[in-house]
Amino acid sequence: MTVTTSPRRSIGRIVIALLFALLTVNAFMEAFEPEVPPTLRALQALVGVLALATTWGAWSGARWSYAAATAYGFAAGGMVASLGPMLDMPLEERDGLWIGAAVILVFSLACAWFLRRMTRRASVDITEVI
């Protein structure tokens, strides 16, 4: 008889899942706002899907969760960096966009590192031969 138990979620995985769930809601709210340009709407939808995938992966302990967090960072960071030309912002208002994009990327890569570390530790399977 084999008894399988679900792996226990660490506090870090729960926090990451909750943060990415909030990011999912935010991205989808922005994607369905009427005055948003179509390009930004599509990028927000993509970012929302990647945040949702990261949420699900972090919550369930999926091995691919770190890849979803990494993809989220590059997509969201790239979207923030491209807001200046996309929204025709004056040059003096674009200064913080690159810093914001870098912060998003660093945050998501830190989450990806943590998720990779946790899923690698959880994927070690010790079996007994009887």
Q: What is the pTM of this model?
A: 0.84
Residue 91 is part of which domain span?
Answer: 11-122
Q: Is the torsion defined by CA of 35, 41, 45, 50 positive or negative? A: negative
Residue 90 tokens read as 């004056």
For residue 127, give every residue at least 6 positions away whose Cβ sits within 8 Å of its Cβ, in sequence order, or none.
none
Q: What is the pLDDT of residue 6?
A: 55
Digit-coded pLDDT (tens) for 3-62: 555 557 889 999 999 999 999 999 999 999 999 999 999 999 999 999 999 999 999 999
Whether residue 4 is contained in a domain is answered as no
pLDDT at 93: 86
Residue 56 and residue 112: Cα distance in Å, rounded? 13
Tally the C-alpha atoms within 13 A of residue 20's C-alpha that lie toward its C-beta: 34
**Domain assignment present for 88:** yes
6 within a domain of the structure (yes/no) = no
Count the domains in the chain. Answer: 1
pLDDT at 128 over 50: no
